[in-house]
Structure 1
Amino acid sequence: MRSPLITYCLSKKAAAEDYPFGPLPIVMKVGGKMFALITTTEGDKVSHISLKCDPVIAENLRQQHEAVQPGYHLNKKHWNTVTVDGSLSDADLHDMIDHSYELVLKSLPKAQRTAISQRLV
């Protein structure tokens, strides 16, 4: 059964699942750019999710939540790696995913953003 976090990522407009590094991590992309890297354990339970984040917000989240750390093998200024251990609510995780998705979407060329926003699904 697919993890609810993976399903949530894939519910974003034009989100696509990719495996550029092998079976793990699962990479979620929009417009060909990563917005989430997901590590799972046996049984497809998400153990970690790395998300793009505004640097000021990223630092605040790290100070507020032990589960939020600088991005593992990523630009630590712009990425957080979140341990999915139940200490953060699904709503908090969804907000972080939304923020990451929006940052990446905004970085795409205008024509590509427009095409994505006009998609029905």
Structure 2
Amino acid sequence: MNASTLHKTAVDCAEELPGARLGHPLGPDWEVFKVRSKVFMLMTEVPGRPVVILKAEPAEAHALREQYRHITPGYHMNRKHWITLESGEGVDEELVRELVTDSYRLVVAHLPKAERPVDPHTYGTGTRAAR
């Protein structure tokens, strides 16, 4: 995946997620996606390189960083719970969509049950391929 399609793929996926909303609370250079009031995805450019910042389980975040050269600790976020994704070898549309959906599900799982737009334990799991 090239740099110009990374943000588009992430946005296309995020816009399909129930209850997801885009805002710019950090200024025009940052796109922030939230479900209810909780952030699940941030996008910006870090010295001219498009990046997508996503929430991840700590063990999964570590495994992803080990497996993919273009996944690093979360930029300006808690590096244990967030990852930064850049375009490059091994980063394809399927991976981006899976990571965006996983981040969304993690955030939804921590919302009060009455505020959850989906069941985070079953949403999006039917079509996922094993890595």
Q: Same fold (TM over 0.5)?
A: yes
Is the Cα contact below 8 Å between 2:9 and 2:97 reproduced in 1?
no
Q: Determine the structure 2 residue equivalent to 1:117.
A: 118
Instruction: Choose which of 107, 113, 131 in structure 2 pairs with 1:104.
Output: 107
Structure 1: give runs of 5+ residues left out of the alignment: none
Percent of paired sites with the same residue = 32
Give the partner amino acid of 2:29.
L
Query: 1:47 deviation in Å?
Result: 1.3
Tell me how far apart the structure 2 counterparts of residues 3 and 49 of structure 1 sit (CA, whole Å).
Answer: 10
Query: 1:10 deviation in Å?
Result: 1.1
Q: Determine the structure 1 residue equivalent to 2:24.
A: 19
* TM-superposition CA deviations, 1:53-80 (whole Å, max 9, x none): 0000000000000100000100000000
TM-score, normalised to structure 2, is 0.78
Tell me how far apart the structure 2 counterparts of residues 110 and 85 of structure 1 sit (CA, whole Å).
Answer: 37
Tell me how far apart the structure 2 counterparts of residues 11 and 101 of structure 1 sit (CA, whole Å).
Answer: 11
TM-score, normalised to structure 1, is 0.84
Structure 2: give runs of 5+ residues left out of the alignment: 1-6, 120-131
Written as runs of structure 1 = structure 2, the 5 A alignment for 1:31-110 is 31-39=36-44, 47-85=50-88, 87-110=90-113
Tell me the matched-pair count.
111
Q: Identify which range, 22-31 or 83-92, moves more after superposition.
A: 83-92
